[in-house]
Structure 1
């Protein structure tokens, strides 16, 4: 009886857990669809901006120098290059390997540059690094679950200020993007200093083959002022796109994790139901066997009593004689 009660408790526990996983699957599905619509609504502008930025980078004058193009070669030779890493994770777990993969890639970057600065987007990454005694230099709260242009602009301006003040020499962003509805990949992109050869549209497999196209291109009022004006918008757009991509990837990973949990739960419920039915059947069989054995024993007792009674009646006259 105790084993049957234990199986029933496990079945009830799995049912309650599956209610939660089903709800989380539906919530993630809704949020991912909303994020995809947001990304689709902003992609045309940012693709055009990044394409134009790539054209500007290709047409900068030879020997042109600018603070945003400063590679800090002197510091690099001295081995003191300081890198800022923006790690984009989720605010919650239960998303498969989504958070683990990003944190692992970030740890590898920090190992290569131990004097780097770490900035976190998402509570999971922040808690992980604090628990492992890794210093977090900046935290962008309430951004992972609700990426907006205003929050992306705040991140971009903070990175630009640190770079211009030469407190950092490189800026990298580590985030997850969606290759398709079933597959995601971790990305590491250098935001600053700008690299001409790497200037290409965000999230496109092939950049335009405009490198070989000759075109007349004039920079007004001049290349330096132009970069000061468009680089903040370019970084803002790139970071916002990265945040939205990461948001979509998080909920895609969570949907897959919850779907897998539901399938495993169904299999486990099926096994437990079979075990429950077998145990219940064994109990019923045992009860029937006990009843039948009791009835048989009672019948034997009654038969023995009747035999003794008849024997007593048959012996009494002989005793009188």
Structure 2
């Protein structure tokens, strides 16, 4: 018990303590806030797991389409290898970057952009055609003047030859005459890894000047069709293989998110 003279001072001190809190006091979450956060985490985990299952299902179909596209592209490229076709050095080079519009698949798009920049160091005069908004946004920051054509809504589903043919037709309408068209795409190694690769399509002039072209029965009309067909073949190959890499990378990103408890790299 305090004396009557001391009681007012004690009462005033207790009020001062209750009104002011130290600046470094911790703000503890309430039980309701913790429950809300746990519920949110569980919902994110369910969504991530669903995306992983969907990607796993789509990967089987994407790999089947990739195998079919390889048979087309490799067959036409075998002709140019046997004919010893080479791009003329006095003509410009066109780079076609086979990206897409979707993210949440790790660094798959940034890898294509880095590979494109490396090639541009060797061919600084080259023009760029970008398939997909992801690589376009990245390359626009460093080489905006080199982009002469771009396509959106690419690879929303499994690519087919008609998609590649439509893109090839638009590329053929570009005003410049290119000696070589290098298609930069993601090369599928296995379900866990991929790397940036390049497949080349040649101009009609380059095909005509091939040293061993006489081994094949061709005429002028056939050469023009061969050039267009080979470009569409290689585009189909690049798009289908890149699509399989994207689905695989997205599945792996979702699996890592579930395992380690953090979201995939936005890319």
Matched, 1:219 2:192: no
Q: TM-score, normalised by structure 2?
A: 0.72
Note if contact 2:97-2:116 (Cα within 8 Å) is conserved in structure 1.
yes
Q: Name the structure 1 match of 2:118.
A: 108
Instruction: Output the CA distance in 2 between the equivalents of 1:47 and 1:82.
Output: 24
Gaps of 5+ in 1: 59-67, 74-80, 200-216, 267-321
Note if contact 1:84-1:117 (Cα within 8 Å) is conserved in structure 2.
yes
Shift of 1:173: 1.2
Q: Which of these residues, 150, 153, 168, is aligned with residue 142 of structure 1? A: 153
Q: Which is worse superposed, 243-252 or 40-49?
A: 40-49
Instruction: Output the CA distance in 1 between the equivalents of 2:38 and 2:235.
Output: 46
Instruction: Output the CA distance in 1 between the equivalents of 2:74 and 2:179.
Output: 27
Q: How many residue pairs get matched?
A: 227
Matched, 1:258 2:254: yes
Q: Which has the higher strand share?
A: 2
Note if contact 2:66-2:244 (Cα within 8 Å) is conserved in structure 1.
no
Instruction: Output the CA distance in 2 between the equivalents of 1:85 and 1:133.
Output: 12
Q: Which of these residues, 41, 44, 59, is aligned with residue 17 of structure 1? A: 44
Instruction: Output the CA distance in 1 between the equivalents of 2:194 and 2:202.
Output: 25
Q: Which has the higher helix share?
A: 1
State the secondary structure of the residue aligned to 2:216. Answer: coil
Q: Name the structure 2 match of 1:271.
A: none
Q: TM-score, normalised by structure 1?
A: 0.61
Shift in CA distance, 9/91, structure 1 to aligned 2, threshold 3 Å: same
Note if contact 1:120-1:138 (Cα within 8 Å) is conserved in structure 2.
yes
Shift of 1:256: 0.5
Matched, 1:121 2:131: yes
Shift in CA distance, 117/258, structure 1 to aligned 2, threshold 3 Å: same
Shift of 1:70: 5.6
Q: Name the structure 1 match of 2:244.
A: 248
Matched, 1:8 2:5: no
Shift in CA distance, 261/233, structure 1 to aligned 2, threshold 3 Å: same
Q: Name the structure 2 match of 1:38.
A: 65
Shift of 1:226: 4.0
